[in-house]
Amino acid sequence: MFSELEIVAVFTSLLIFFSGSGTAQFLENICGERRDGLSRDAVGPWTAILHHSGRIVCVGTLIHERFILTDVHCGGSNGAIRARLGEYGRIGSELAEDHVVAAFFRNTNFNPETQANNIGLMKLLRTVIYKEHIIPVCILLDSRMQTFADKLDYFNGTTWKNSDKSPMLSSKTVVRMPQACGKLDKGQFCAGHKDLDSCDEPSGAPLTREIDYILPNRTVLFGIANSVEANCSNSRSYTDVVQLHQWISTVIYSSSTNDGMEEPYNTTHLPELFCRTKLKSTSFATNSKK
Ligand SMILES: *[C@@H]1O[C@H](CO)[C@@H](O)[C@H](O)[C@H]1NC(C)=O
Ligand SMILES: *[C@@H]1O[C@H](CO)[C@@H](O)[C@H](O)[C@H]1NC(C)=O
Ligand SMILES: *[C@@H]1O[C@H](CO)[C@@H](O)[C@H](O)[C@H]1NC(C)=O
Ligand SMILES: *[C@@H]1O[C@H](CO)[C@@H](O)[C@H](O)[C@H]1NC(C)=O
């Protein structure tokens, strides 16, 4: 059955299809646009909450009509994971959607010690129909943009906000901190903020920046928050998404997207989202007690 999470290994040593093609290009043409008038700390319409019957496991980012990008660990938990899209930034009669995850592709070069190549792709059972509150973020497919990306010194990160009601994600400025994470492996960079507790930032969460490329003001994904092991500090390591763009396009373009369209996605009676205490600092756990 499709509802079971299936782990599929993809070797990055597969043919690299799009190396050095050199044309200015995003993975999806419709991407990185957010509606006007939302508050400055609203998270983007690409934010995906990965949950198991409402219990939040991780955060991911919609990058394609069938794929969500996240941390390697996020696909590893047992049971049927659902991807909640459009949870935030809805207006009027707009609805959130729960999508069934049909497969998980982990980068087989992932190194658990250094967290290098910490990147995974979830394939959804059904094609996502884009709406104003559900749109993918842009993924750069041009290696020449690496130098540009390496010079960016601040981004939008994604953190939990204290709330008495259901858990809320909000957007927060994160700055590049080249020295703060110690020695990093290839394909990683370090960022944080003096007011930020890395434990408030869920694993797999997007690090984005609005840039002018192809069109003005497109939000592009630059980093994926790596998991932190019980050591909350002001900084953490992120997977460098621009460096791993060939892995992303290889997985997506070598996977059929004409399959599994039957099952409708869930828009009604969605389970209420909640956090494991481990996901969030104690202050949140206390506040959220009813
Ligand atoms: C961060 O997100 C806000 C909207 O939530 C946006 O107004 C702002 O331009 C973004 N900043 C960057 C650096 O992308
Ligand atoms: C892009 O963003 C800037 C700053 O937020 C704004 O002044 C400008 O009007 C935007 N351009 C377009 C085409 O939306
Ligand atoms: C935890 O953080 C402290 C202070 O930043 C650091 O000295 C220590 O090495 C860290 N431990 C681990 C396991 O990362
Ligand atoms: C939709 O959500 C409801 C409530 O959680 C659940 O009972 C039902 O099985 C879900 N349907 C699908 C197709 O996932």
Domains of the chain, by residue range, sit at: 143-239
| Ligand nearest to the Cα of 215, by number | 2
Closest by Cα among 38, 270, 35, 37 to 166: 270
* Ligand 1 pocket, residue 156 CB under 6 Å: yes
Q: Answer whether residue 282 shows pLDDT above 70.
A: no
Query: Cα(first)–Cα(last) distance of the chain, in Å?
Result: 37
Pairing relationship of beta strands 82-85 and 47-52 according to DSSP bridges: antiparallel
Which residue's entry shows tokens 């099952």?
263
Is 209 a pocket residue for ligand 1 (Cβ < 6 Å)? yes
Q: Is the pLDDT of residue 277 over 60?
A: no
Distances (CA, A) of 73 to 118, 122, 245: 8, 12, 19
Neighbours of 14 (CB within 10 A): 13
* Nearest ligand to the C-alpha atom of residue 206: 1
Residue nearest (by alpha carbon) to ligand 3 atom 6 = 231
Please give the share of the chain, as a percent, with pLDDT higher than 90. 51
Measure 265 CA to ligand 4 centroid, in angstroms. 9
> Which residue spans within 120-225 are E strands per DSSP?
120-124, 154-161, 168-176, 188-192, 206-213, 215-225
Class of domain 143-239: mainly beta
Question: Relative to the CA of 263, which ligand 4 atom is closest?
Answer: 13
Residue nearest to atom 13 of ligand 3 (CA): 231
* pTM of the entire predicted model: 0.84
Q: Is pLDDT at 74 greater than 50 in this prediction? A: yes
Tens-digit pLDDT profile for residues 188-221? 999 998 877 767 788 899 999 999 998 999 999 9
* Strand ranges in 71-167 using DSSP code E only, listed in sequence order: 82-85, 97-107, 120-124, 154-161
Over residues 84-95, the mean pLDDT reads 93
Is residue 278 in contact with ligand 1, taking CB distance under 6 Å? no
CB 157 within 8 A of CB 174: yes
Percent of the chain with pLDDT over 70: 80
Please work out, in degrees rounded to the nearest 5, the angle formed at the alpha carbon of residue 193 by the alpha carbons of 190 and 197: 95
Q: What CA–CA distance (Å, rounded) separates 162 from 123?
A: 31
Alpha-carbon span 267 to 134, nearest angstrom: 13
**CA separation, residue 31 to residues 73, 133, 136, 282 (Å):** 26, 12, 5, 36
Q: Of 48-52, 87-91, 200-204, give the lowest mean pLDDT range.
A: 200-204
**Residue 103 pLDDT exceeds 50:** yes
Using the predicted structure, report yes or no on whether residue 79 has a pLDDT greater than 80. Answer: no
- Between 281 and 236, name the one with better pLDDT: 236
Buried b (16+ CB within 10 A) or exposed e, 258-274: eebeeeebbeeebeebe
Average pLDDT over residues 90-118: 91
